[in-house]
């Protein structure tokens, strides 16, 4: 498969198998973590909203194994921005709030988009809706961030599906041409069929040396929902260089 460059790429992939949801054990673990973390946790407040970033879509994806994810489509104007806060409020069918990602101590990529370039749509995914019961809808707010002049060049290549005992997952090679070590680089994936979001997922690359590195760096991304015969959009959000 051709190399996919930039912070956003759209590719059409059709895995042979349809069973791509997170497994039930993973869903149960996330749910248990949620109950522990939500109880008595401190929250992070948005100090100001970001007028330059528009929320285009905010959707909930549910998998057959009980897992769920929130997928938020964003579009920025003006200059590239770094460390963009994204806060979500997940609600059930009765409008009751069942999950918010404002708890202090969550993984940074579950509360921020590390980088967003202007003039294009990107996706941010929270695949760990901790403790959320029967999520039906989600609202998103974007906080103020700081503009950056230089955007690191990170690319994906050989993106394809593989299957093992855990199920079907998306994988590929990550290339860092920014001449600086990148850490905890998130890769967000959204699958659409007929314009409808049918699956979403997130991967995290702990350490990404500058290319050429000592050995190739691969990512492994599990979906909530099934990306079968769907168009998969990948968003890579490396640490910005100011």
Half-sphere exposure of 219 (CA within 13 A, CB side): 32
Give yes or no for residue 39 having a pLDDT over 80. no
Q: Does domain 25-147 have CATH number 2.60.40.3230?
A: yes
pTM: 0.85
| Per-residue pLDDT at 31 exceeds 80 | no
Q: What are the helix (H) ranges across 39-156?
A: none
What average pLDDT does the structure give for the chain?
Answer: 85
Say what the pLDDT of residue 1 is. Answer: 39
Domain ranges of the chain: 8-22+149-236, 25-147
Paired tokens of 77: 């104007």
Burial class (CB in 10 A: 0-12, 13-18, 19+), 23: middle
The least confident of 33-37, 140-144, 231-235 is 33-37
Query: What's residue 174's pLDDT?
Result: 95
Structure tokens at 210: 């500058």
Encode pLDDT of 143-156 as tens digits: 999 999 888 889 99
pLDDT average, residue stretch 234-238: 94
Domain at 8-22+149-236, CATH from 2.60.40, 2.40.50, 3.30.1380, 1.10.287: 2.60.40
Please determine, for residue 122, whether its predicted confidence score (pLDDT) is greater than 70.
Answer: yes
Q: Average pLDDT for residues 29-41, to the nearest whole number?
A: 45
Same fold, 8-22+149-236 and 25-147: yes
Mark out the alpha helices in the chain (DSSP H runs). Answer: 24-38
The residues with which 192 forms a beta bridge, in sequence order, are 197, 231
Tokens of 157: 């290549």
């Amino acid at each position: 498969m051709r190399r996919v460059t930039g912070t956003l790429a759209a590719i059409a992939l059709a895995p042979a198998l349809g069973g791509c949801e997170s497994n039930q054990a993973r869903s149960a673990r996330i749910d248990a973590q949620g109950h522990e973390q939500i109880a008595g946790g401190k929250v992070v407040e948005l100090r100001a909203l970001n007028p330059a970033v528009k929320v285009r879509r905010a959707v909930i994806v549910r998998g057959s194994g009980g897992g769920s994810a929130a997928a938020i489509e964003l579009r920025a104007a003006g200059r590239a921005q770094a460390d963009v806060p994204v806060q979500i409020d997940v609600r059930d069918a009765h409008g009751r709030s069942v999950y918010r990602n404002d708890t202090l101590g969550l993984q940074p990529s579950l509360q921020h988009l590390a980088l967003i370039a202007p003039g294009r749509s990107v996706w941010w995914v929270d695949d760990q809706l901790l403790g959320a019961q029967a999520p039906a809808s989600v609202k998103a707010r974007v906080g103020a961030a700081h503009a950056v002049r230089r955007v690191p060049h990170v690319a994906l290549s050989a993106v394809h599906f593989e299957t093992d005992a855990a199920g079907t997952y998306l994988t590929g090679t990550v290339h860092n041409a920014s001449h600086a070590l990148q850490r905890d680089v998130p890769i967000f994936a959204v699958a659409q069929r007929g314009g409808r979001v049918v699956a979403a997922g997130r991967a995290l690359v702990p350490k990404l040396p500058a290319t050429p590195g000592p050995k190739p760096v691969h990512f492994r991304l599990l979906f909530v929902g099934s990306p079968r015969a769907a168009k998969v959009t990948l968003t890579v959000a490396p640490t910005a260089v100011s």
